[in-house]
Amino acid sequence: MPFGCEYRDQMGRSIAIAVLCSACTFHAPTSSQSSDAGGDGGGGDIDADTRPIGRCGTPGAITDGFSSANLARWTQTSSGGGLVAVANGELAVTSGTGGVTAVVSRSSVDLENAAAELGVVDIGDAHAVFRLAFDDTRVLGIEAQGGSLAAIVNGSVLATTTYSHDDRYWRISEAANTVTFETSVDRTAWRPIGTFTTPTYVTAVHLVVGTDGPAGGALPARFDGVNEGVASASWCKTAALVDTFDAVTVQPFGPLWNNSGITGTHCTESVSGGSAHSNQDGAGASDCWFASSTSYDLRAGSVSTYITTISNFTAGWRTYLSTRDDADRDVTIAFDNNEMCATGTNIARTCIAYASNLEYWRLREDAGTVYFEVSSDNASWIEVHHEVTQLTASAVRAQVGTITDAAIGQFIGLSISDINP
């Protein structure tokens, strides 16, 4: 796989998956939305208040000045012994013996009418890369190697220019149906490398910063900031995540959900008949799940799902709706052994009896407290539990899935009809 993301299932097990990103529809933020999504805990080394505020979900939602060794907003991938380290306000990436060594943003961003930027300190002889990746083949990037700086589209060189050590900032921007690749000494005067007609996938791309080989390895590159010079942004509210599954919409079968995991061989996922399906064959332990492509702001909001009546179940099979932040803290509402249960990071399992008409499940946040709720009509809600949580509610990914810890001896299929109905 060209690069990977790490997610954890509801048992806390680490899952490394290929990044498969899909298009999202974003909505303009309200004036009350703040920008606190940077890798430094809110805007990197540039005061977010000095920058213009962009549309929610754009690259400015991921700002990192690498003043902290905490890379929570990123996953790391290495090939052939490559190394990633943070020190003294810099990200240092040392290439392996071949392949990509990099940090990859956990969440995708929307490049439409926006820009992504990288601060470059020194790349030496490394093949340094700054990529906006939809998946492993649909990629926009700026790459430096052998004295040249190249604009890359889908793995092919679009245009090149001579690389200079003074090319401190690399930027990829989109406007008027055109993607522009450029470099700058001072973030004021920009030198174009090339332009390309905007591909449809720019609405959901992951940031990739690092090196790509070459064979032989041990070539370092140093970077000192991501998106510190672009418009500040927050994540869109969770209300923006809406899916009726009337089209092919769950990755690897479509947009909104870039992360799909199947651990074990005993479950399958599909979309048909206006529902997403997760089917367990019952022959062994397995976890089928899908998670939102990008992060959302759960504060003073909610995320819900419509799951049709569960009538065929057995002990050991669970299904859940959760939200998870970049520190892998989660809040989860789950069907478990004919009960509806609230659980999560440092949350004691609390349950009520399940009834067949409780087809709507919701996680709602208000002033630091998360409410776990169920409903028969999506209007009147029954509380399962509420608790003040450690969740960073301003940046969470939604996740839905089914789990079996062992063989359960029967087939069980789940139908998910809507997200935020």
**46 lies in some domain:** yes
Q: Which of 180, 67, 76, 176 is nearest to 119 (CA)?
A: 67
Query: Is the pLDDT reported for residue 175 higher than 50?
Result: yes
Q: What is the pLDDT of residue 233?
A: 95
Among 201, 226, 251, the domain-final residue is: 226
Q: Given pLDDT bands bounded at 50, 70 and 90, which one contains residue 311? A: confident
**19 lies in some domain:** no
Q: How many domains are there within the chain? A: 2
Q: Are residue 272 and residue 153 in the same domain, yes or no?
A: no
Q: Are residue 369 and residue 298 in the same domain, yes or no?
A: yes
Percentage of the residues of the chain whose pLDDT score is greater than 70: 84
Q: What is the pLDDT of residue 261?
A: 66
Q: What is the pLDDT of residue 84?
A: 94
Query: Is the pLDDT reported for residue 179 higher than 90?
Result: yes
**63 lies in some domain:** yes
Q: Which of 376, 377, 381, 385 is nearest to 340 (CA)?
A: 385
**11 lies in some domain:** no
Q: What is the pLDDT of residue 370?
A: 98
CATH number at residue 172: 2.60.120.200
Q: Given pLDDT bands bounded at 50, 70 and 90, which one contains residue 70? A: confident
DSSP string computed for 349-367: EEEEE--TT--EEEEEEET
Q: Are residue 290 and residue 360 in the same domain, yes or no?
A: yes
* More confident site: 326 or 28: 326
Q: Are residue 169 and residue 251 in the same domain, yes or no?
A: no
Measured in whole angstroms, the distance separating CA 15 from the mean position of its chain's CA atoms is 14
**9 lies in some domain:** no
* More confident site: 260 or 25: 260
Q: Are residue 319 and residue 290 in the same domain, yes or no?
A: yes
Report the mean per-residue pLDDT for the chain. Answer: 84
Q: Which domain holds residue 269?
A: 238-419
Query: Is the pLDDT reported for residue 7 higher than 80?
Result: no
Q: Given pLDDT bands bounded at 50, 70 and 90, which one contains residue 252? A: low
Query: Is the pLDDT reported for residue 360 higher than 80?
Result: yes
Q: Are residue 207 and residue 250 in the same domain, yes or no?
A: no
Q: Are residue 321 and residue 343 in the same domain, yes or no?
A: yes
pTM: 0.85
Question: What's the average model confidence in pLDDT over 80-100?
Answer: 90
Q: Given pLDDT bands bounded at 50, 70 and 90, which one contains residue 314? A: confident
* More confident site: 64 or 258: 64
Q: Are residue 269 and residue 349 in the same domain, yes or no?
A: yes
Residue 344 β-bridge partners: 331, 347
Query: Is the pLDDT reported for residue 35 higher than 50?
Result: no
Question: What's the average model confidence in pLDDT over 9-18?
Answer: 33
- Residue-wise pLDDT for 340-357, tens only, equals 999 999 999 999 999 999
The letter for the amino acid at 86 is V
Contact between 71 and 39 (Cβ < 8 Å):
yes
Q: What is the pLDDT of residue 34?
A: 32
Query: Is the pLDDT reported for residue 18 higher than 60?
Result: no
Q: What is the rounded distance in angstroms from the CA atom of residue 323 to the CA atom of residue 241?
A: 12
Burial 233-248 (b: 16+ CB within 10 A, else e): bbbbbbebbebebeee
Q: Are residue 246 and residue 190 in the same domain, yes or no?
A: no
Of 236-245, 279-288, 389-398, the one with minimum mean pLDDT is 279-288
Q: What is the pLDDT of residue 334?
A: 96
Q: Are residue 219 and residue 307 in the same domain, yes or no?
A: no
Q: Are residue 176 and residue 260 in the same domain, yes or no?
A: no
Residue with tokens 């969740």: 391
Q: Given pLDDT bands bounded at 50, 70 and 90, which one contains residue 253? A: low
Percentage of the residues of the chain whose pLDDT score is greater than 90: 60
Q: Which of 153, 141, 163 is nearest to 196 (CA)?
A: 153
Q: Which of 342, 312, 345 is nearest to 326 (CA)?
A: 345
Q: What is the rounded distance in angstroms from the CA atom of residue 129 to the CA atom of residue 123?
A: 10
Q: CA distances (Å), 137 to each of 56, 132, 153, 155, in order?
A: 26, 11, 9, 7
